[in-house]
Structures are given as C-alpha cells and as structure tokens.
C-alpha cells in the first residue's frame, strides 16, 4: 500500500504533538551547571602564577610592520678645490743684507704697489712673512696670498 505525502506529514505531526503533551507536565528549561569555584585549600596548593616582565615578552611580533624603503642614495659631494698656486710674478728678489753677528735680511719688491720689503725668515713685517728661504728660492705670505720667488 503506497503512502501519500499528506498522510505521512499528518502522522508525523500527531506523533510529535503527542510526545510533547505526554512530557509537558512539570517540564522546565534546564541551564548548564555552574562551574565549581576552587576552595582556599586548592588555591594554596596551586603553583605560583607565571610572572614575567612585559619587556621580556616582546618579540618581532610586537613591532608594527614597517613599509619597505630602499636605502637613500649617497649624497654626492663637490670635489675639493685645488690648492692655490703661489704667485710667481708679483714679488721680485732684490738681494740680501748680512752684518756680522746678525741674522740675514732678505730684500724684495712687491711689483703691483712698488713697495720694498725687508724680511727676516719667520718674522712678520708690514703684513708680510718670509716662511721659507733656500739658496735657490723663497716662500712668502702676504696680503694677497702666498708667493714663490726664485733668485
């Protein structure tokens, strides 16, 4: 005997309602049991809590990720200017004065102004200094810079 769908649905509904009606008497919703709190003796026997400084718990996960930035290109610096070349045309050697028991005094002429200079090595005179003297050449410092003079 074939079952019809409506007959099956009707019997299922009657069975469910009958079961509910049979168990309805005294039925209350049940809540899950509450967790049991530890007693004082259980707390005293428990191992001490893990205590660590927050700084010891840091790791690579503690810092926020940084965006990738390429290293900046090195900054190009200007080349050093060349050392100034001593002027070799503005000062002319005139001669030397020597007296018995005294140091040598060298005589020069500064051509742009026509001024005569009497210089002793290492001593400044009128803004001019004879820094080095050899039998072949002289090095002077003056208001216009450094000068190289040959004999």
Residues 4-40 pLDDT 10s: 777 777 777 666 666 655 555 566 667 777 777 766 6
Give 33 or 138, the one with higher predicted confidence.
Answer: 138
pLDDT value of residue 131: 92
Provide CB contacts within 8 A for 137, sequence distance 6+.
148, 149, 150, 151
For residues 148 and 87, the answer to whether their CB atoms sit within 8 Å is yes
**Whole-number mean pLDDT of the chain?**
77
pLDDT digits 0-9 by tens, 57-93: 656 566 666 777 888 888 888 888 888 777 777 889 9
């Amino acid at each position: 005997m074939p079952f019809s769908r409506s007959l099956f649905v009707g019997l299922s509904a009657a069975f469910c309602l009958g079961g509910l009606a049979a168990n309805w008497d005294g039925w209350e919703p049940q809540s899950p049991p509450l967790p049991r709190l530890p007693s004082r003796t259980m707390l005293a026997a428990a191992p001490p809590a893990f205590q660590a400084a927050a700084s010891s718990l840091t790791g690579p996960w503690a810092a926020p990720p940084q965006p990738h930035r390429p290293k900046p290109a090195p900054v190009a610096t200007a080349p050093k200017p060349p050392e100034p070349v001593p002027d070799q045309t503005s000062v002319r050697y005139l001669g030397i004065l020597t007296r018995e028991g005294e140091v040598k005094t060298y005589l020069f002429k500064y051509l742009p102004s026509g001024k005569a200079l009497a210089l002793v090595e290492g001593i400044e005179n009128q803004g001019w200094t004879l820094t080095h003297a050899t039998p072949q050449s002289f090095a002077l410092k003056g208001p216009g810079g450094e000068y190289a003079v040959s004999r």
